[in-house]
Structure formats: C-alpha cells, structure tokens
Amino acid sequence: MGIAERRERERELQQKMRRKQILDAAKRLFYEKGFSATTIEDIAQEAELSSAAIYLYFKNKDDLYASLNLQLLEYLSQRLDGLYREEGLSSEEKLETLKELLYDVFDFDPLILINLFHLQASDGLKNLSQERTKQLNKLAARCLRSLAKIFEQGIAEGRFVEYNPIALGDIIWIVFTGAVLWEESKRMMNPRKDYLKQTLGLAIDIFSRGIKAA
Amino acid sequence: MGIAERRERERELQQKMRRKQILDAAKRLFYEKGFSATTIEDIAQEAELSSAAIYLYFKNKDDLYASLNLQLLEYLSQRLDGLYREEGLSSEEKLETLKELLYDVFDFDPLILINLFHLQASDGLKNLSQERTKQLNKLAARCLRSLAKIFEQGIAEGRFVEYNPIALGDIIWIVFTGAVLWEESKRMMNPRKDYLKQTLGLAIDIFSRGIKAA
Amino acid sequence: MGIAERRERERELQQKMRRKQILDAAKRLFYEKGFSATTIEDIAQEAELSSAAIYLYFKNKDDLYASLNLQLLEYLSQRLDGLYREEGLSSEEKLETLKELLYDVFDFDPLILINLFHLQASDGLKNLSQERTKQLNKLAARCLRSLAKIFEQGIAEGRFVEYNPIALGDIIWIVFTGAVLWEESKRMMNPRKDYLKQTLGLAIDIFSRGIKAA
Amino acid sequence: MGIAERRERERELQQKMRRKQILDAAKRLFYEKGFSATTIEDIAQEAELSSAAIYLYFKNKDDLYASLNLQLLEYLSQRLDGLYREEGLSSEEKLETLKELLYDVFDFDPLILINLFHLQASDGLKNLSQERTKQLNKLAARCLRSLAKIFEQGIAEGRFVEYNPIALGDIIWIVFTGAVLWEESKRMMNPRKDYLKQTLGLAIDIFSRGIKAA
DNA sequence: CATGAATGAGAGTTCATTCAT
DNA sequence: TATGAATGAACTCTCATTCAT
C-alpha cells in the first residue's frame, strides 16, 4: 500500500509538472504571437510533446488559455486580500503599498498578466465555456472587492474623500489594466525600456492625491 | 457632360454607401463575435452582399478591420486637437471638457471604439500590415501629443503640478482605454446599465484634483 | 446608303483593331506569366479595356487563347505550303530554305509561337472546345503535310534516303518545337543571348546530312 | 529495443508507401487533366485520403508536382551518366544504345516523363519555388552534361564531325522532349498505337548518320 | 501515458463570367 | 459598344481535435 501510495503521489507530481510545462510554453507563445495565431502544434513543440498529448491535460485550447489566467488571478487575489487585511498599515500606506504590489504582480509574471488582460479585453471571453467564465469572474470580483474594502477603510477613517469605494476600486483596476496594456502595446512597436513601473507609480500617486481628504 | 458628371457623382456616392454598409456590418460583428471569429462570409451576409463583393471594397479582412479603426481614430484625433487649440478655455476647463469629449467620442460610436481598443490590446496589431500599423500609430501618437500639450499649457500656467506632460497624457489615455474595456467587459457578463460615463467622469475628476497645483 | 456602308466598314475596321489590341495584350501576358496565371482582368488592363469588354470579342478565355494560336499556325501553314510549291528549288535547297523559314516564323512572332507550342505541350488543349481543337489540328496537319511533301519530292528525285516522308516531316516538327521550347526554357533561367537560330540551324544541317542519299 | 526498431522501420515503410500512393495518384491525374485542372481534392480522392492528409506528405501542390519530376530526372540522369562512363562501347555504339535508353526511360514511366516535359514547356516553372527550380535545373544540367561528354568522346576518337558537343547534347535533348510531347499530343487527339519508339529511333538514326565523320 | 496519422470543417481569397445600365 | 458591379463556384491550405496503437 505504501508503494501504491508513493506511486500515486509520484504520478500526480509528474502530472503537475507536465501541466506546468505546457502552461509555460503556452504562456510564452500566446504572449509572442497572440492567442489565435498560436496553434496547439506550436505549444506542443515548445513543450516537447505531441499535440495529442496536450489534450490529455487540457480539455481544449480555450481551457488551456483560461487555466493560464486563473493561476495569476488567484495569486493577485490573495495578495490584494492580504493587503486589505494587513493590520499595521494606515489606508494611505496601503495605497502606497498597492503601487508596489501591483508592480510586483506584474513582475512576477508579466507574460501571464498581459495574457489575462488580453483575455479580458478581447475575443477570448466570448468563446470560453460558461464554467470557466464563472471562475474567472469570481476571482476578478474578489480582487475588486479587496480593493474596494481598502477604500472603504480610508473613507471610514476620514482620510479619503467620500467617493463610492466600489467605483474607486474599479478605477484602480482600470488604471492597472490600462497601463499594462498600453505600455505593452508601446513595447510592441518599439521594444525599449520598460516604463510600466514609472507610469503606474505616477498614476497611482496622482490618484492618491486626488482622493485624499482635505 | 452634365450627365457624365452626374453619373460619376452618383457612382461615387453609391460606392461610399456600399463601403459604409460593409463597415457597419463588420463593426457590429467584430464587436459581437470578435475579429477572428467573424468570417468574411458573415460580414457579407450582414451587408447583403456576396463575400466576393467585399473584396471589391477592401483588400482583405485586415484591411477592413483597420479601416474601421482609422475612421474613429481620425475623429478622436481631430477632437483632441481642437480642444488643445481652443482659446477661450483655461487648462482646468479643458480638462473638464475632456471628460465630455471622451464620453462623446465613445457615444458617437461605442462599437468601433471598443474594436479600436481591442485592436490595441490584442492579437490584432501583430497580424496587420506594416503600412496599416504605421497609419494607426501615427494617429494614436497625434492624439497623445494633443493630450500632452494640454497639460503642458496647464503646467506653464502654474495650474498643474509639474509632472511630465507626456506621462500625464499617457495616463489619460490609459484611463480612457482601461475604462472603456473594463465597462465593456462588465457589460459582457451582465448587460445592465452603462456606467462608463460615471466611471470615466469620476476617474478624471480625481485625476484633476490629483494634479492641481496647491 | 453610302454612308451606311462607310459606317459599316468603319465599324468592322474598329472591331478588327480591338481584337488585335486584345490579342496583342494577351500574347504578351500569356508569354510572360503563362496561361493560367494570366487573368482576364490582366489582359483587359493591358488592352485598356474593361474585362467585360473582352467577352464582346471572344467567347471566353480559351477561345481567346486559341485565336491567338490559329493566327500563327495559319501563317506557318501558308509559308510551308509556299515552300513546298516553290518550283525553282531542288529538294536540298528547299531544306536549306526551311531553316531560314522556320527561324523567320519564329522571328515574326516568338511570343505567339511559344504560346502555340505551350498549347500543344500542356494543359491547354484539354480544356479547349471541340471546334477549336479541330481547327488547330487541321492547320497543324496541313503544316505537316507540306513538310512531308517536300521530303517526298526529295526521295522521288533520289536525293534523300527512302525514309517514310511523313515520319521525316514529324521529325522536323519535333525538332522545331523542341528547339523553341528548350531555348525558351533556357532563356527563362538565364535571359542571355538567343541561341535558337544556331541550334535550329545546326539541328537541321545534321538532319540534312543524315537523310542525304549516298 | 528490437520492438521499437521494428516499429520505426514499419512506420517509415508505411510513410514511403503513402507518399508513393499519393505520387501515383497525382501522376495519373496531372497526366489526364493537366496540372492546374487537377485539384488537391482530386488527388486525395484518388489516393483514398483526405485532402488535408496530402499536406502531411507534401508542403503544397507545387512541391508535390516537383517531387514527381525530380524522381524521374534523377533516374534519367543516372542512366545517362552510366552510359557515358560505359567502358566497353564505342561512341557509335553508345549512340545506338542511347536510342534504347531513352525509350526505356519513357517506357519506365511515360506519364511522369510527359509531366516532366510539360513542366519544362509550360507555366509550371514560373510558379515553382526557387529551390525546386534549382534542383530541377541541376539535374537537367547533369543530364545534358552526360550527353555532351558522349559526343566529346566520339569527336576525340575522330568518329564524329567536330560540332560543338554541348550543342549536340542539346539537340538530342530537343529531339527527345520534342518527340515525347509530339507523340503524346498526337495520342491525345487520336489514342491509337504508340509511335514514339519508331519516331525517336528514326530521328536518332538520322542524327547519327548526320554527325558521322566521313 | 504518449503519439503519429488522419480528418472534417471551414477560412480567406481568386477569377471567369454575367448583367443592368 | 462598353463598363462597373456583382457573384458563384472553386481552390488551396490550416487547424483543432480524435483515435488506433
């Protein structure tokens, strides 16, 4: 039984590694060539597998794509939740920290993040299965809720102007996605330095000043 | 001669109408189903033509797509340029007007605007012809320049904090695209009311407060 | 009535010129790009007409192609017939003259001649109407008969070895077509000087020596 | 290991058979209907495969066509080279043998040979990839060189008149291609007996007499 | 578990040809 | 007579997906 168990565990590990292998390959390719221009065959080659093998790990192309994004959204959601629950920081400090956090998340995996926003921004969602869409939405909603909560706090503490905290959360999200996509789009034309950190930092600074109670 | 001339004019009018007919059909479909999921056949049917006829008016699918976007970008570019050159308004008033302007542009043709941002945000650009990409970039650059100029003015007048005006222009652009895509994405899940105007308004208000010189 | 007549004549002249205009354009294009790669639109543009207009003068693309070839075949047939009937020349002199004649025909219109042999050599014939095929065959047969007759004479006069004159005619034809196509094919790779005259000359010289009665 | 090896071998065999299956189907169809009138679908059906499957074995239609021709050209090239290097034969005997050899090659695969000459004679070459064209030319050049060498020998031995051996090689080639195409073209009109052997034989006999040193 | 082989379905595109004007 | 506009019918090629092994 011990043996069977070990085998079982090994198999699962193996499976997870294969999945990761495929996801990594896909991530790179989707980022480089875009979703529709990336073929399963491409991914298979990059992952050193046959294209048929992909289907052992993912139901289909869309599923693969969504899996990719869920991963990061989960991470982001956790980080935001953590920030919101952080006891030792004032709302203003939290906002300051948010700047770092968002850039951190981007830095953690820029490719996947851009993929995520592409998904949000384009065809992607329309061809996804209901179930996947639900999952993605649930996570995105959780992220936004965490953001809103931070503003709620600040308002309650009298440090922020009394705007609708949900709207404020949305705006942060908008700035984040907009900035990532925009800087990415600029980089596509002219792959120079990466201005995201600066742009995002400035945007959030201005935003902070803009909501600070007089 | 009069006859020939009239015929000529009529023919041109006819042509323009056909183009518009096709562009309208395409716009709706791209918006509904996304670029790659929309077939030429779909567009042709929607426009009540044969698919071969589409090729009389557009070189290929990409060309059709780009035409769609150029149209609006041109419009936006003109409006922004107009605003920048407006003599009677203070920088602050211009910022206030910008809010309206952006919403106007969205209202003028939401479908096409979303298509435009999808293009920026996704696969689109990668598969476009060099020439088209250049055109699009040129127009986008012009928009951004107009935005930057407005901030330049405000800073020169001492009304705005001395941030880099180009970066400020970028941030407005980011907020605009981000907001349109985000509200759109929300609407896709749950096509309720349209919150863009409010969200965009609030974002720009906060932004204005944030850059106002003390 | 005189007027009507003149008009009638003018119209016919006009028609003939248009036909020629089209045939010339087609000839050049078929030669340059090959039959199937040449579109009616191409021809129309080259002839400064609309593609629809082509159909006023030719039933369809194949018809146009065949017309082209009939023209030259007719010319060739007449020349060969003339040579055969020539009274003042011995069979050997006729063979010598044949050399010139063939090169003349080529020189008269290389494009069309190559087209003709392409037609013989490739797809062309298979998609032609029965009627056209018949016409072409009749003319080709007449050419070959003339050639055969020349050899018949030579044999009767005891100057040529007693080979089957029809076979000899075929061989001349074979050498002619083969040489034109081969030199053309060489020229396609490397458009240098034109060796046809030499090659053809040498081939026929050798052939002459080969059939000369001892 | 033995098993893996055997499987490997079996797979390769299978692959080769499929390729041959396709090539055979294509050969027949190209011959019957010509290159451009033959669709991939036709070939697929004849080979009892899906049209998509064709693309597993050949890059595209042109590639398929060229493969067909390379095959035979290679064979011909080897045979000619062998003849040229043959030690036991005099130049005259080699010429005699050439007659047989050429007919042999034709007999070996008339369809493919005619396809080859069609290719040389028509559109084909113009739409082929540079690389393929090069390959074909290289082989054709090799054939011609072998022919030229045979004549060189004969001239050196004083058995042939001192014509340019390269030109003589060309003429043989011309006669061969011309004869194949011409007899084929006659057969197309009237599929009776096959006179190629006779015609070719006679042509080369006459040619031999024509270059024999006095 | 992994894969090579195969395919169905469809996409974009081209073009000879027609027809109202 | 001439044409601009339109189209039907193909054709080549691609790709996600399946299945026997």
Q: For residues C167 and C156, what is the distance between their CA atoms, to the nearest angstrom?
A: 16
Please, where are the H alpha helices in C86-195? 91-108, 110-121, 130-156, 165-189
Which tokens sit at A38? 């990336």
**Chains A and B touching, counted as 3 or more CB pairs less than 8 Å apart:** yes
Q: For residues D166 and D163, what is the distance between their CA atoms, to the nearest angstrom?
A: 9
Q: If we measure between CA atoms, which residue out of C72, C81, C137 comes closest to residue C105?
A: C72
Q: If we measure between CA atoms, which residue out of A125, A199, A34 comes closest to residue B119?
A: A34
Q: For residues C175 and C180, what is the distance between their CA atoms, to the nearest angstrom?
A: 8
Residue of D nearest to C175 (CA): D175
Kindly list the distances between the CA atom of residue C187 and the CA atoms of B1, C124, C195, D33, in Å, as whole numbers in the listed order.
Answer: 51, 22, 9, 27
pLDDT at A172 over 70: yes
Are D36 and C36 in contact by the 8 Å Cβ rule? The answer is yes
- Residue that terminates a domain, selected from B16, B40, B57: B57
Are C144 and C120 in contact by the 8 Å Cβ rule? The answer is no
**pLDDT at position B108, please?**
84
> Do residue B168 and residue B154 come from a single domain?
yes
pLDDT at D129 over 70: no
Give SS3 for B18.
Answer: helix
Are A185 and B121 in contact by the 8 Å Cβ rule? The answer is yes
First to last CA, chain C: 69
A79-128 pLDDT tens trace: 999 999 988 898 889 999 999 999 988 888 877 777 777 666 655 555 56
Kindly list the distances between the CA atom of residue D110 and the CA atoms of A101, B152, B165, D102, D184, in Å, as whole numbers in the listed order.
Answer: 75, 80, 77, 11, 10
> Do residue D53 and residue D94 come from a single domain?
no
Q: Which amino acid is at B55?
A: Y
> Do residue D19 and residue D88 come from a single domain?
no
Q: Which amino acid is at A156?
A: A
Least confident of A30-34, B79-83, C45-49, D114-118: D114-118
> Do residue D105 and residue D130 come from a single domain?
yes
Q: Give the residue whose CA sits closest to F14 at C1'.
A: D52
Q: For residues C203 and C173, what is the distance between their CA atoms, to the nearest angstrom?
A: 12
D157-171 pLDDT tens trace: 999 999 999 999 999
Q: Which amino acid is at A74?
A: E
Distance C72 CA to F7 C1' (A): 36
Longest Cα pair distance anywhere in chain C, in angstroms? 69
Distance A187 CA to E3 C1' (A): 39
Are D196 and D180 in contact by the 8 Å Cβ rule? The answer is yes
Give SS3 for B89.
Answer: coil
Distance C165 CA to F10 C1' (A): 47
Q: Do D174 and C170 touch (CB under 8 A)?
A: no
Q: If we measure between CA atoms, which residue out of D39, D43, D180, D60 comes closest to residue D120?
A: D180
Residues of chain B with pLDDT under 50: 1
> Do residue A77 and residue A25 come from a single domain?
no
A16 CB below 7 A from strand E atoms: no
**pLDDT at position C121, please?**
62
Count the alpha carbons within 13 Å of D194 in the hemisphere toward its beta carbon.
9
Are D176 and D99 in contact by the 8 Å Cβ rule? The answer is no
Which tokens sit at A76? 């982001």
- According to DSSP, residue B86 is labeled -
- Residue that terminates a domain, selected from A38, A57, A76: A57
Which tokens sit at B11? 């023919």
Percentage of residues in chain A with pLDDT exceeding 70? 91
> Do residue A48 and residue A73 come from a single domain?
no
D53 CB below 7 A from strand E atoms: yes
> Do residue B81 and residue B38 come from a single domain?
no
**pLDDT at position C203, please?**
96
Percentage of residues in chain D with pLDDT exceeding 70? 89
In sequence order, the 6+-apart residues with CB closer than 8 A to the CB of A112 are A27, A68, A69, A71, A72
B148-206 pLDDT tens trace: 999 999 999 999 999 999 999 999 999 998 998 888 877 766 666 678 889 999 999 99
In sequence order, the 6+-apart residues with CB closer than 8 A to the CB of D98 are D83, D150, D172, D204
- Residue that terminates a domain, selected from D37, D57, D77: D57
Which tokens sit at A163? 């705007």
Q: For residues C155 and C139, what is the distance between their CA atoms, to the nearest angstrom?
A: 25
B32-B35-B41 Cα angle (round to 5): 85
C37 → closest Cβ in D123, D137, D175:
D123
Q: What is the pLDDT along chain C (214 residues), one digit of tens a residue?
A: 578 788 888 888 888 899 999 999 998 998 888 777 899 999 999 999 999 999 999 998 888 988 888 888 899 999 999 999 998 999 999 999 999 999 988 888 888 887 777 766 655 555 566 677 778 888 888 999 999 999 999 999 999 999 999 999 999 999 999 998 888 877 766 666 678 889 999 999 999 999 998 7
Give SS3 for C192.
Answer: coil
D87-100 pLDDT tens trace: 899 999 999 999 99
> Do residue B33 and residue B133 come from a single domain?
no
Q: Which amino acid is at C192?
A: R
**What domain count does chain C have?**
2
Q: Do C127 and D188 touch (CB under 8 A)?
A: no
- According to DSSP, residue A32 is labeled H
B117 → closest Cβ in A121, A124, A206:
A121
Are C169 and C145 in contact by the 8 Å Cβ rule? The answer is yes
Are B207 and B172 in contact by the 8 Å Cβ rule? The answer is yes
Kindly list the distances between the CA atom of residue D92 and the CA atoms of A31, A188, D77, D207, in Å, as whole numbers in the listed order.
Answer: 70, 71, 20, 11
Confidence category of residue A41, pLDDT binned at 50, 70, 90: very high
Confidence category of residue D188, pLDDT binned at 50, 70, 90: low
> Do residue A45 and residue A87 come from a single domain?
no
> Do residue A82 and residue A50 come from a single domain?
no
CATH number for the domain including D32?
Answer: 1.10.10.60
Least confident of A23-27, C102-106, D34-38: D34-38
Kindly list the distances between the CA atom of residue C207 and the CA atoms of C168, C196, D203, D204, in Å, as whole numbers in the listed order.
Answer: 10, 16, 8, 9
Rg for chain D, CA atoms, rounded: 20
Q: What is the 3-state secondary structure (H, E, C) of C82-106?
A: HHHHCCCCCHHHHHHHHHHHHHHHH
Q: If we measure between CA atoms, which residue out of D122, D115, D137, B51 comes closest to residue C38?
A: D122
Q: If we measure between CA atoms, which residue out of B187, B180, B26 comes closest to residue A126?
A: B187
Phi, psi of D184 (to 5 degrees): -60, -45
pLDDT at D1 over 60: no
> Do residue B27 and residue B113 come from a single domain?
no
D18 CB below 7 A from strand E atoms: yes
> How high is the mean pLDDT of chain B?
87
Q: For residues C58 and D213, what is the distance between their CA atoms, to the nearest angstrom?
A: 54
**pLDDT at position B191, please?**
66
Domain that holds residue B15: 1-57
What does the pLDDT average to over A118-143? 71
Nucleotide nearest to D18 (CA to C1'): E5
Residue that is written with structure tokens 């060969």 in the block: C80
Chain E positions under 7 Å from a protein CB?
1-20
CATH number for the domain including A85?
Answer: 1.10.357.10
Are B177 and A182 in contact by the 8 Å Cβ rule? The answer is yes
Are A174 and B178 in contact by the 8 Å Cβ rule? The answer is yes
Q: For residues B8 and A200, what is the distance between their CA atoms, to the nearest angstrom?
A: 54
Q: For residues B77 and B141, what is the distance between their CA atoms, to the nearest angstrom?
A: 9
D131-157 pLDDT tens trace: 777 788 888 889 999 999 999 999 999
- According to DSSP, residue A212 is labeled B
Q: For residues D202 and A155, what is the distance between their CA atoms, to the nearest angstrom?
A: 107
D182 → closest Cβ in C34, C173, C203:
C173
Residue D19 buriedness (CB in 10 A; 0-12 / 13-18 / 19+): middle
Please state, as a whole number, how many other Cβ atoms lie within 10 Å of the Cβ of residue D62.
15
Give SS3 for C212.
Answer: strand
A54-73 pLDDT tens trace: 999 998 888 888 888 888 88
Distance from CA of B26 to the nearest CA of A (A): 15
In sequence order, the 6+-apart residues with CB closer than 8 A to the CB of C212 are C92, C159, C160, C161
Q: How many helices (H) and strands (E) does chain C have?
A: 9, 0
Residues of B with CB under 8 A from a CB of A: 33-37, 117-118, 120-123, 125-127, 133, 137, 163-164, 167, 170-171, 173-179, 181-182, 185, 188-189, 198-199, 202-203, 205-211
C61 CB below 7 A from strand E atoms: yes
Distance from CA of D203 to the nearest CA of C (A): 6
> Do residue C136 and residue C203 come from a single domain?
yes
